[in-house]
Structure 1
């Protein structure tokens, strides 16, 4: 039924016939990327808790420093590589790193330093692989197309994120962690092949010969653009506030999970099943709600409504500080992020320059995001040092959610009126 409606074009998914192949390949790429990442995500979460909650701010700070290193390297690649080779280089480097981690964890499965190195590496690259994918999407589709098709394309990622933790939960008890690195590497390898197929299939290539050329500028062009562009500064503030919401939820959930589940395997299984539930809800929302809501109301409504729901969630957690409440609020945040906020954030860039899409965007998505994670993690620890319990930090989280709603409205209104 759904396939027939898709093939009819302009039906359930609002995809035109000329866009069908590009959308399907983009869907498949995002599926490969997120299924591969989500195979490893439960491992990352369990390793972070096993290393001690008191060390998580240090992990966040190290991740921020990793972002500072990778962004100029990526900026250099933008200036020297064609578009297809740029994405292929990013994803191929992930494949190589995962193979290295496979051998290292086979040799030293309980090495805490190796676990921390893996946490930092995957926390930097998971943002880069998603951000560079959406830069390509913003380059391939104009704003009108993006409003219609980004929800469908995002559903490919959610389907991958649905399958990834399921694979992880089913395999980890029988094979341990190490083999999962090779399974994930195979998925990223498939993404590399699909990127080249997408670029060769895209009909815009025949009319836009400059699109695949390397971009001009130096590795720090993106940083300078952020410093002098009010819209990018507002977008960075939005990311900063959303990071605060996520970080406070992350610590609250981690503390409760640590007390409820004694070993890494049980925590890995819990996080895997939570991921499975989140992405089941996300894919339905992306397929049937995102495009229709944006088409009717613009991007400002989703960018406001999800932070408002999180504000209400923090209030409920402040009143009932239990593990089930923390997981429930986290699920609302993640479903809202994947189904609405992330696609709408990417739509904001569809009418901007390529330098903003590929260079400035990654400064914010990686350096600002991970810097905000580090800052907010130390802020959370400071709140605890001053005697604030989970209830007190929940009220601070509610304040951050309210501020992010106001910022999201301003960004969305600017885009809708442009």
Structure 2
């Protein structure tokens, strides 16, 4: 019995010798990225509510989509001019530096957290919200695009679970630290005010972001270039394009390819469906946090407690579940497991209809997403061209997420006047429709991915491009 368990564990955690350094550096970089993002993301809503007001959250969602458009066009221009690792390092440094600026401003007696009167004219709250909303498409998304560009489909099945578990460990440590700092136990130590507690947390998150380039630079310096090609068919296409001077595709390439290729649009839908559901639920989560809190530190502390449990469960899922399931079931079946599990959890909540059941569902959904769904979904980008990996992906992660969140907030706004029975009916209809479409999309995208890998295809080629090992979609 013991030998069987040891053999099973070796099959899950064994890393081939030539892949060890690459997996190590990617895992460490992702550890710091998610460690920093966990703190800033959980501070985002509590700081905005304290500075601007809860009623303006829906307007912030719309404003985010407007501001992200020029930012994405600038990013697309940089994709054509910088190397992949340079792009990731640049944005990690930018967010680390801006985080330190916001750290200082939060302590200001008038525009910062010392002023406890919410007002929509307080610009710091708006700018901070926009800053945090950009972290996903401009740091997390770029990391995944970089990882996908240097990873083969077979390696993704073997090692993405390990890599994500490392990031979840970063999230666990950051969330635990945040919860501790925001608790009353630290009031008599080195931080005593709400403002100083939030400043300390944001400063730590900024430092974590500034350390990401260290690990990426270590990867580039210590791993041989022949192990950084990723999917060979895509590498050959990109090499040919560079030789012909056709690698610069313009700032609108990501958006046009998102519209042009069904595969890219399907990826957009996978993000959209999950985020709509979570946006609806997140509004209720924030409401619970406010009901149980008397000040901003209590609100933030409650949110950190929830994300601590989420990252802990996500760590266990990614470490022990993601790799075995990917190896045994493949991407298509794994993609289907996500909407199916979402439906089961929602039915559980509706049967129980308690606050504990709601929070349990919320934590489980986010844990499955972070620990399982995310790495499975990201591996789908591996057989795509650079424009889809980097440019379309940025539009997908930015607008898929933000549009979904805006849709969720609109639903919550419209449903506020409904009685409980009507609200449950409306929410059940919305979730049922989304989950049904989600399952169809997951099946089609998963099937297309498996066919591309089996036939050594590259997804995202124009009809006039030819390559002996690829064909167009």
Fold shared by both chains (TM-score > 0.5): yes
Give the whole-Å Cα distance in 2 for the aligned partners of 1:76 and 1:104: 31
Are 1:109 and 2:112 counterparts? yes
Are 1:144 and 2:154 counterparts? yes
Q: Is the 8 A contact 2:15 2:159 kept in 1?
A: yes
In the alignment, what sits opposite 1:391? 424
- Superposition deviation, residue 387 in structure 1: 5.3
- Superposition deviation, residue 399 in structure 1: 3.3
Are 1:203 and 2:224 counterparts? yes
Q: Is the 8 A contact 1:42 1:168 kept in 2?
A: no
Deviations 1:321-355 (A, max 9, x none): 43222211111111111111100111101111111
In the alignment, what sits opposite 2:203? 182
- Superposition deviation, residue 227 in structure 1: 1.3
Which is higher, the Rg of structure 1 or of structure 2? 2
Q: How does 1:8-407 map to 2 (within 5 A)?
A: 11-50=11-50, 51-107=52-108, 108-110=111-113, 112=118, 113=122, 114-173=124-183, 174=186, 175=191, 176-205=197-226, 215-385=247-417, 390-395=423-428, 396-407=430-441
Give the whole-Å Cα distance in 1 for the aligned partners of 2:353 and 2:280: 13
Q: What is the SS of the residue equivalent to 2:340?
A: helix
Aligned pair count reads: 413
Point out where structure 1 has 5 or more consecutive residues left out of the alignment: none
- Superposition deviation, residue 159 in structure 1: 0.7
- Superposition deviation, residue 171 in structure 1: 2.0
TM-score (norm 1): 0.91
Which structure exhibits the higher relative contact order, with contacts defined as CA atoms closer than 8 Å and separated by 6 or more residues?
1
- Superposition deviation, residue 86 in structure 1: 0.9
Point out where structure 2 has 5 or more consecutive residues left out of the alignment: 1-5, 192-196, 230-234, 453-473
User: Hey, which of these two has a bigger chunk of helix by percent?
Assistant: 1
Instruction: Give the RMSD, CA atoms, in angstroms.
Output: 2.6
- Superposition deviation, residue 279 in structure 1: 1.1
Deviations 1:362-397 (A, max 9, x none): 111112221222133213322334556652353123
Give the whole-Å Cα distance in 1 for the aligned partners of 2:227 and 2:366: 38
